[in-house]
Chains A and B, each alone.
Chain A
Amino acid sequence: MSFRTPLSQARGLGSAKHGVGHWLSERVAAVALVPLVLWAVYSVLRLAQLDYFGATEWIADPINATLMILTITVSFMHMHSGMRVIIEDYVYSHLGKATCLLLSLFITGLAGALAIMSILKVALGGA
């Protein structure tokens, strides 16, 4: 057992060498989302004109399917990393923080996977 304070133990060790990873990946996703989200706005306007059959035809176009899957994937990564910062800022208890972080990861992971599988199913003609 050490009687040194946590600060004195950490002092002089330098950084953990992975601090910049989350910061950087958050920004990479953000930059990718600028064009993707503008395309998504255009697509929502387009899809609002179409019924079920029009929408299945629209998503069967490989460009639309690919951009939609990319938009969902990058958005959900960005949603997760953004919500993570909010949880880390506002949830103080250790257990509460871990619970919220896991919950957000599972929600984005499950909803994102379901969305991508759904797009693939329709795009590949299974609908």
Chain B
Amino acid sequence: MSPHLQVWRWHVTMLTSILHRVTGVGLYLAGLIAAVWAIALAGGADSYSLFLVVMASWFGKLIFAGMSLSLFFHLGNGVRHIIWDFGHGLSKEDASASSFAVLGFAIAATGAVWAIAFMMGLL
């Protein structure tokens, strides 16, 4: 365990840093679910119907909620990383501000997609 976790005051950049990893692992599982989707589709009508039933259940919706939130956080924070790689936004103030911006984006984008899904009558 890194000593900074015990002695440093909590900061939002810590949260977004570890969330990038956590959501990355989550999206690893999401990628495998996408593979299951393709395999179920190739398996025929029965296996695809089963996939749809599972993903439309409350458990499937919970997985979709986690996947969408993880996706938009990882996407936003990934763009933040790319901007950092070009040498921009690396000051403490900028890094904190962009942490909040990415968290806000993830929540807003996830909310927007679920609102669209609701309006499409998918929920």
Contact = CB atoms under 8 A, between A and B. Distances in A.
A101 interface: no
A45 B120 contact: yes
A115 B28 CA distance: 14
A57 B39 CA distance: 16
Contact of B38 (A51, A53, A108, A115): A115
Q: For the side of the interface on B, what is the size category?
A: 20 to 34
B41 A56 contact: yes
Contacts of B95: none
Residue among B42, B71, B75 with most chain A CB within 10 A: B42
Residue among A33, A75, A115, A119 with most chain B CB within 10 A: A115
A49 B35 contact: no
A53 B45 CA distance: 8
Nearest to B78: A30
Contacts of A56: 41
Nearest to A110: B35
Interface of A: 27, 30-31, 33-34, 37, 40-41, 45, 48-49, 51-53, 55-56, 59, 68, 72, 75-76, 79, 82-83, 86, 107-108, 111-112, 114-119, 121-122, 127
Given A27-B82, A72-B35, A119-B42, 19 more contacts: A30-B81, A31-B82, A33-B75, A34-B79, A45-B113, A45-B117, A51-B52, A56-B41, A72-B34, A79-B27, A82-B28, A86-B24, A112-B35, A115-B39, A118-B39, A118-B41, A121-B42, A122-B38, A127-B41
Interface of B: 21, 24-25, 27-28, 31-32, 34-35, 38-39, 41-45, 48-49, 52, 68, 71, 75, 78-79, 81-82, 85, 113, 116-117, 120, 122
